Amino acid sequence: MKILVIGPSWVGDMMMSQSLYRTLKAIHPEAVIDVMAPAWCRPLLSRMPEVNEALAMPLGHGALAIGERRRLGKALRAKGYDRAYVLPGSFKSALVPFFAGISQRTGWRGEMRYGLLNDLRVLDKPAFPLMVERYVALAYDQDRIRSARDLPQPLLWPQLQVSEEEKVATAAAFSLPDTRPIIGFCPGAEFGPAKRWPHYHYAALAQQLIDQGYQVVLFGSAKDHETGEQIRQSLDASAQPFCRNLAGETQLEQAVILLAHCRAVVSNDSGLMHIAAALNRPLVALYGPSSPDFTPPLSQQARVIRLITGYHKVRKGDAEQGYHQSLIDIQPARVLAELENLLAQSQES
């Protein structure tokens, strides 16, 4: 059986989609699964053993480009796919499998996709409260799975593969000494400071960890580099050499390998948080106005700290320096205590 998946365009969603691939392989061990997604996803897909090939989606996130999608679909006909799974909810995301002439095209009902999908599921959101449950449910006949309670348990959570040799080589390439274990910090957030734990809290935690004999490495994109510098510059001068700001300095693949090399990770709600969870790193995940009720970190080694409930709309000027009050209220001592508990448990196991 040959399967084409139209994958998500966000890091966190792409990580959670691996649960579908793992489930499909468990049901159909002979299945060959190809995933079409933006080219930047390749470093993630290449570490999912269930995925045979990552097919680059050359079109931007908002581009309809029906003619180009028709061309892409017709080019895929030679691959002889038996089934397609469309994970995004947009009209345009269902076009390529339709033009490819794939006989079974499965997905949740979205933007007027009648006809484009011929195995169209109607989503009862309360019945499938987690995004990962919605992905996994597509692997089964819809008559069998009416709610998340019908899904076989436990769900097959994401698991990325990184070798020990890669960890050692990549750490050496970035001159990270092996004399101190690494704690990774992921202080960035896609939509600005309202989802970030304050930099001064990160700095206070980093200072304590460095005093305990760890080194701290900061991960993120180029736009997170300034935040990383705020954290590093807030440390005592003697501690700064043990804090490396790699935000914007790594490719995604290098960041994945280095996160796998970390003894533990502290992160805001972000794509890197989901990567750390899939690497099974001890993880403290910090949530404010965004909620873990829909997309929590999928790991037994993850601990979520959130002081409020429900969804909170964020307005400019709601909090100091753009930080949300609920994140300001999470004190470094609370995070350190959770982190130390996780580290102790990981050493025992």
276-300 per-position pLDDT tens digit: 999 999 999 999 998 899 999 999 9
CATH number, span 164-348: 3.40.50.2000
The residue-averaged pLDDT of 242-269 equals 97
160 Cβ contact list (under 8 Å, min separation 6): 15, 18, 44, 47, 48, 256, 260, 275, 278, 279
pLDDT confidence of residue 314 = 65
Q: Are 44 and 15 in contact (CB under 8 A)?
A: yes
CATH of 2-150, one of 3.40.50.2000, 3.90.1640.30, 3.40.50.1970, 3.40.30.10: 3.40.50.2000
pLDDT confidence of residue 317 = 47
Dist CA 260 CA 266 (whole Å): 13
Dist CA 127 CA 133 (whole Å): 9
* Ranges of CATH 3.40.50.2000 domains, the chain: 2-150, 164-348
pLDDT confidence of residue 349 = 62
The residue-averaged pLDDT of 297-309 equals 95
Q: Is the confidence at residue 100, as pLDDT, over 80?
A: yes
Q: Are 219 and 243 in contact (CB under 8 A)?
A: no
Q: What single-letter amino acid sits at 124? A: D
The residue-averaged pLDDT of 26-35 equals 98
